[in-house]
Every structure is written in C-alpha cells, then in structure tokens.
Structure 1
C-alpha cells in the first residue's frame, strides 16, 4: 500500500486555479514537523503563501522543468507555496540540513496528496527576489520552494530505456523514466 502511494507522489508542474488555503498549507507543515531531523536540530522554518498575487509573483521568479523546453504558463501556475528557510548565518552541517529538508518536503507532498493536491520541489528560483516579495527578515535565508496546487497534468512513471532518465512531456502528459531495481542495486549478499 505505501509503495503505491509513493509511486503517485510525482512532481507536477501545471495546476488548475483552485486555491490552496492557508489552513491546508498549515496542515502540510504539521506533517513536515514530524519528519526526522539530523540530531533533532529542527532548523527548518516555513513561509506559507496562498495569496493569489504573491503566488503569481513567485511563479514569475521560478523555473520549472529544467530538463525540457516546455514551461508552464501563468494560468496553470501553483496556487500555494511553502518556502523552506533557516536562520542565518546557518550554524551546523548544511549537508544534514538538506537531508532534513528532503524528508520534510516528502512529508509535505504526502499530506498534499491526501488533500487532493500535488506539488513540485523547486530549487531554481530567484531567492533574493522571492525573499523580498515575502518580506523575509534579513536573519533568514531561503533554500527550497514547494509549489502546490490541484494538478492539471498527469505524471506517469515509465521504464527507462538504455539508462536514459530524462523526463519528457507531451501536452499535459509528463513522463518520468525510472531505472529498474536491478540497475540500482549494485550488490546483494
């Protein structure tokens, strides 16, 4: 059962205009709060965005689907965002912090799925401009943006061909090749 849920937690990049509420975003972060954290440091802080104008402004500062030429249009942009940030200057092991963000982001996407939403973890955004738009205090630094909304596209996992893992898109169908299990397990004893 869990494997079936994990198979459908894919990156979606186009959305309907259905609004994601602040309460729904809070519920997603409640799930993130229960993610493991290296040394139980719990250094991630969150900014929740459901305001339509801010969502549109953030969308203009973000890049989606870097491996292909297709780009979403404003009319299919995310209707909610969760910005992951931390206090600066950062104290601790930044590699462990990325690990923590990955775990928290996965929990957010699992909760989003439960609510009927999908999302995309975005690192390619103009951090300084987004921080300015959100009036983020100078003692915080942004790292990851999670774009959320009701999905407009379909994402299908397909087998990779000859090791090619580059995703592709045809209209609203997004295809994500995955390597077979026997190619990623290098040894069994």
Structure 2
C-alpha cells in the first residue's frame, strides 16, 4: 500500500481543468501538520490558493523542469498552489528549517496522490512577486517553497539511472517524463 503510494507520488508538471477545492487543500495541510518538526517549533505557515486568476498570475512567476528546455503552458498549469512560508523569528537553523520544509512538502504530495491529485515542488519562483500577489507579510514570514497542484495529465516513468547521467527528459509527443533513479546497491555505502 505505502509502496504503491510512493511509486505514484512523482513530480507532475501538467494538469487538467479539475478544481482543487479548499477542502482538499486543508486535508493536505493536515497531512503536513502531522509531520515532524525540529524542536517541535512548528514554524511553517501555509497560503492556500485555488482562485483561477491568482493561479494564472502566480504561474508566470514560476520556472519548471530546470534540466530541460520545456515548460507547461498556462492551460496545462496548476489549479491550486500551496505557498509554504516560515516565521522569520525562529530558533531553527537553516538546515533544520529545510528538513521541516522537506517533511511537510513530502507529506503534502503523498496525501495529494492518495486523494487522486498530484503536484510539483517549485523552488524556482519569484518570491517577491508571489509574496505580493498573495499579500504575504514579508516582515513576519519568509516564502520558502511553492507546491503546484492539480489532476495530472502527464505520465512519469522511472528508469534505471547511472551516476554519470541522472538528467531527466521528456517525450513531448506522449507527455511522458522519464526520471532516472539509481539502484539500491549504488545508494548503500556499507552494510555493517
């Protein structure tokens, strides 16, 4: 069951027109809320966006699939976003904050997949413009990560990877994204 969920939870970059409701978005935040947090600081805060006009404004300030010269069109774009921000006043180190963001965002993607949706974590976005669009108080909060969400229309295929070439690629004719993964034997350094 968990293995199937892990295999289906991929970075999806094209979406159909299915709406992502605030009820679904709140379920995703509930999944994030249940994850661990360094020092139990719970410093992350979430902005939920499913307005079509705001999604369109945000889309133009994002960058997709940095390893290949391709991006989805506005029509294929996400139907919702979650902006993950952190309190500026925190006792967490930047490493621990990054771990908290990783835990929260992975829980969001796992729950999204379970609910029949998919997403993509976007670190490459114009933080200033998106903060302005969603009226984020940047005196109090730092925007950290944008989670794009929707009902995926692309297919993601895992392939065998080699350390010398882990670059993903996309077959535009079939809307298929190929992602190389290293073998478990390559990843395990020692068995002591």
On the 8 A contact 1:83/1:144 being kept in 2, the answer is: yes
Name the residue aligned to 1:41. 41
Aligned ranges 1:42-81 → 2 under 5 Å: 42-81=42-81
Runs of 4+ aligned residues of structure 1 deviating over 3 Å after TM superposition are none
Aligned residues: 189
In the alignment, is residue 176 of structure 1 matched against residue 185 of structure 2?
no
1:1-189 to structure 2, matched below 5 A, reads: 1-138=1-138, 139-161=140-162, 163-171=164-172, 172-189=175-192
Structure 1 residue 142 displacement after superposition: 0.2
Structure 2, unaligned runs of 5 or more: none
Structure 2 Cα separation of the partners of residues 112 and 131 of structure 1: 24
Secondary structure class of the residue paired with 1:46: strand
**Aligned CA distance change for structure 1 residues 39 and 154 (closer, same or farther; 3 Å):** same
What secondary structure sits across from 1:155 in the alignment? strand
Shift in Å, 1:87 = 1.8
C-alpha change, 1:168 and 1:90, in structure 2 (3 Å) is: same
CA shift for structure 1 position 161: 4.0
Following superposition, the deviation at residue 140 of structure 1 comes to: 1.2
SS of alignment partner, residue 36 of structure 1:
coil
The Cα of 1:92 is off from its aligned counterpart by 2.5
Q: Report the Cα offset of residue 115 of structure 1.
A: 1.2
Cα deviations across residues 45-72 of structure 1 (Å, max 9, x unaligned)?
0000000000011110000100001111
Q: Secondary structure at the match of 2:101?
A: helix
Q: Which runs of 5+ in 1 are unaligned?
A: none
CA contact (8 A) 2:43 2:90 kept: no
Using the size of structure 1 for normalisation, the TM-score is: 0.96
More divergent stretch after superposition (21-30 vs 86-95): 86-95
The Cα RMSD (Å) is 1.1
Displacement of 1:88 in angstroms is: 2.0
Are the aligned partners of 1:163 and 1:179 in contact in 2 as well (CA < 8 Å)?
A: no
